[in-house]
Structure 1
């Protein structure tokens, strides 16, 4: 028989575990299905997480799994491949052929960073190849930083990262030529500009040493910044009819996300989302906060359903006026 839960959480990262923690503390039966492929796995540490600054990502998740298990939630490694609506909620199909049922779903499957197709970028991703200055800027402060421009955001990235280092070089690669105003901005910030495509990133071990151009020239750099395309992991949601929408900035598509209201509720009643699958800019701490918010809203929704069921059951089984039970005296007749 299919196991039945109040809530099945799909994705065991910060958002999913935070939602599961709130729900299990609310005495809900919760299953977390986790594929074990967190977006921040290549990173050495989590940053900007108050009281957890510098914690390795795997350690943070291990602590979270232990906490939710302590309140009775189940955390199961595996992959949820599809979901469908059934009379009493949803059925979730797992990759191993099993299915579980849930009254509500919380989907926190995150996103995929689609990286530029330059040799060395993927191999150094999360150590010497970065994208977020708030996540990694402090760690490469005052170092030689390169901006690999592949989109209209190259100048903006150079402007941002100049806050952390005086040695910033913009490699135009496949990015557009700066406007006159942008050239003036780059000159004012003392940002060097290299015109020409990048052939590869060079490294020693897991540390970047330089950027090699197609001309053969190597520009020494200690870190390189890229602009990935942020693509929502929305496959399971698509099985429910919820498609990710492309997001644009300045006419350029930089990613996709599944729409939801501020509580995380999607267009399908009973299905909530939290974290990077719906918010591309969310860091670990904001994903955890979104998971908590969604978990609380799911519990509130279940409370309303439980109350409706209780009222219907009472009306169908007993004509007794509840006020007589509370006051201890019968009502006078008319």
Structure 2
């Protein structure tokens, strides 16, 4: 065990890091600089594989315009050396677990309170011979990085579809001699062709055989028919891909896009879907540019510091983003946040309806911790209680057992966006079936209506709007109106009766103890016999 003297005491050097930054490129070094200046114990693990190592120079980075990338990274590591709380280590993280526990290629294990993923991405180029030889110089993917060097020269654009149109129009800013190569892909419509023709961009549909280079620079494009098109530069469509399974191992949610099929979700503070896990640079499918990587790295570092201060001294920080989480993980996290979420009482609107009905079979959608299901069972109903969270259903089972009705409730786990319980029922209840993560609500409610037996009831109770004091949920969250819900159900008037359809206000207490009124949208529909 390594020890050092700090403040007159022996300090365990193998304690948990405040942050481990994975990646020593522009984003990672920028994050580490912020963390070092904030006196946070930080480990930077650098695999030494920057995405832009082939580039002649960095384009558009203030104070470093045209500087070779290797020089920038060397200078950045030199600046980090001034901060005693930052260690830069050459190596590669090969495996990760939430918590965070990271294994390096040399077999060492490191633990950290937070992690910044700044590994960059693999740039996959079109499979055309000759591209690699000129990549990062006269053949490139970013006009903001390399367009200046290609100004006023004959340029080719190699791409297809809508992306090809976008790229060709973009590079037109730097040169008026642009030829779009669709490489035998006939996927432009007449409107797109007219748009390109209007600004003097030629479309050549022939199959491309190779890029001809001389001295490492592009000189011509050779087609499959043997002819050549002289070109001095080319803008080519590339896709960005994760370099390792590390992000997936740590549970980060991907948000596919044409540029990055597995780019990570990040919010405005560079936070991923996993608490404590941040991402900066290309890995977050940001604009693939060094200046953007520096900016997102700096923001990630500052966000890490504030998150740590939230844990250390109670600094108020925004709630961790949840909108990108898989539904099952979101609800497990929700119910796992406290020992109990709900009061255990039945929803008042359901009680008002069900107490006057003859007991039969009931389906409780989104049963949570069982308040409605247990009440229904106590009043003679045989209940199928459905939820996505095993934690919630476990608590509901315990409540049913404690109140002596466990034999009257069948619990089933469903992600209702994927599966729906079988059978038909005398009562189907959907109480406040809202979610900030994926929930195919209109289809689920239609499935709920289809599960009602002739003579049975469908009871839907919705929030009428967002309480003014609510936090963690956007205030423009789309709560549908009563008529929008009913229109989505598309029920036939000759088959359904509206028993009760109205908005009802109720008194509540706000978190600061004040009184307020909120509205519930109540829809009680009876299927005609």
In the superposition, the TM-score normalised over structure 2's length comes to: 0.55
Matched residue SS, 1:166: coil
Matched residue SS, 1:246: coil
Post-superposition CA distance 1:100-138 (Å, at most 9, x none): 111111111111111100101122111121121111111
Contact 1:201 1:212 in 2 (8 A): yes
Post-superposition CA distance 1:302-329 (Å, at most 9, x none): 1232236xxxxxxxxxxxxxxxxxxxxx
Paired residues for 1:9-24 under 5 Å: 9-24=21-36
Asked if residue 80 in structure 1 is aligned to residue 93 in structure 2, the reply is yes
Paired residues for 1:225-236 under 5 Å: 225-233=235-243, 235-236=245-246
1:35, CA displacement in angstroms? 0.6
Q: Equivalent residue for 2:158?
A: 148
- Match 1:188 to one of 193, 198, 217: 198
Distance (Å, rounded) in 1 between the aligned partners of 2:113 and 2:169: 48
Distance (Å, rounded) in 1 between the aligned partners of 2:37 and 2:277: 20
1:151, CA displacement in angstroms? 4.1
Paired residues for 1:1-334 under 5 Å: 4-72=16-84, 73-86=86-99, 90-233=100-243, 235-248=245-258, 255-307=261-313
Distance (Å, rounded) in 1 between the aligned partners of 2:253 and 2:245: 8
Q: Relative contact order: is structure 1 or structure 2 higher (C-alpha 8 Å, sep ≥ 6)? A: 1
Matched residue SS, 2:162: coil
Distance (Å, rounded) in 1 between the aligned partners of 2:229 and 2:25: 37
The 1:230/1:176 distance shift into structure 2, 3 A limit, reads farther
Contact 2:184 2:205 in 1 (8 A): no
1:281, CA displacement in angstroms? 1.3
- Aligned-residue CA RMSD (Å): 1.7
1:298, CA displacement in angstroms? 1.1
Matched residue SS, 2:16: strand
Matched residue SS, 2:145: helix
Contact 1:234 1:258 in 2 (8 A): no
Matched residue SS, 1:32: strand
Q: Equivalent residue for 2:425?
A: none
Distance (Å, rounded) in 1 between the aligned partners of 2:312 and 2:197: 64
Poorly superposed stretches of 4+, deviation over 4 Å = none
Matched residue SS, 1:123: helix
Contact 2:219 2:232 in 1 (8 A): yes
1:279, CA displacement in angstroms? 2.9
Contact 1:212 1:218 in 2 (8 A): yes
Corresponding residue pairs, total: 301
Q: Which has the larger radius of gyration?
A: 2
Bigger Cα displacement from structure 2, 183-192 vs 113-122 = 183-192
Post-superposition CA distance 1:41-95 (Å, at most 9, x none): 1111111111211111111111111111211211111101111134xxx211001
1:300, CA displacement in angstroms? 1.5
The 1:300/1:263 distance shift into structure 2, 3 A limit, reads same
Contact 2:123 2:240 in 1 (8 A): yes
Matched residue SS, 1:247: coil
Distance (Å, rounded) in 1 between the aligned partners of 2:81 and 2:245: 27
Contact 2:121 2:240 in 1 (8 A): yes
Structure 2 unpaired stretches of 5+: 2-13, 315-529
Structure 1 unpaired stretches of 5+: 309-334
Contact 1:232 1:258 in 2 (8 A): no
In the superposition, the TM-score normalised over structure 1's length comes to: 0.85
Contact 2:133 2:213 in 1 (8 A): no
1:254, CA displacement in angstroms? 5.3
Contact 2:118 2:281 in 1 (8 A): yes
Contact 2:286 2:292 in 1 (8 A): no
Q: Equivalent residue for 2:398?
A: none
Bigger Cα displacement from structure 2, 111-120 vs 264-273 = 264-273
